Amino acid sequence: MKKINLQTGALALIVLVAAFSRMVPHMPNFSPLGVIGLFGAAHFSKKWLAFCIPIAATWLSDLFINNVIYGAYSPSFTWFYAGFYWQYGSYLLIAGLGFWLYRRSVSVPKVLGGALGAGLIFFLVSNFGCWIGSSIYPQNAGGLLACYAAGVPFYQGTLLGDLFYATVLFGGYYLLQRQVAFFKLSHLKYA
């Protein structure tokens, strides 16, 4: 039991560090946030932790970004930014994708598929959230398509970020498991 709690703590720390890597200068949308949902779904033995820890890490990094890095641009403390629920909702859907993909094992094709799926889910959900109720885009199919078209240039950063962080998190954890017996998880195998 103690080993499982230590593993959970170590996994939570990895997710938190990944979420705070958003502070490193990067191209727009180059982020670990989609992949930490996949990583959590693959590695946390308790499903609720796979949802809660990545969302909590995202929220903590958002608090820092919104109130420290961009704090001078806001007159008050920002607990949640406008429309946050669309992004957070996409991360929960991505974790659900991770449960489905990694229910028995993790492999390079599954990690690649997860990264591509995470980027697509984020793109579809976040741009839908930008469109719905928008005064910029007409509230019809043409307006929705225009919103998706406007989001295409940002998709490159999302895709590259997901591929990069999938490699770092899944590849790094695989290497860590091979070197340190403590990190070997019985419920999941790397194929």
Mean pLDDT of 34-46: 93
- Across the chain, mean pLDDT equals 91
Rounded CA separation 53/73 (Å): 28
Per-residue model confidence as pLDDT tens digits over 102-122: 998 999 999 999 999 999 999
| pLDDT recorded at residue 1 | 53
Closest CA to 122 of 155, 153, 166, 96: 155
Mean pLDDT of 44-54: 91
Residue 174 corresponds to which tokens in the numbers above? Answer: 């695989």
> Residue 32 has what DSSP assignment?
S
CATH label, 2-190, candidates 2.60.40, 1.10.1760, 3.30.200, 1.10.3470: 1.10.1760
Rounded CA separation 97/113 (Å): 10
| pLDDT recorded at residue 185 | 60
Residue 189 binned pLDDT confidence (cut-offs 50, 70, 90): low
| pLDDT recorded at residue 183 | 72
Rounded CA separation 91/84 (Å): 11
Q: What residues does each domain of the chain span?
A: 2-190
- Percent of the chain at pLDDT above 90? 72
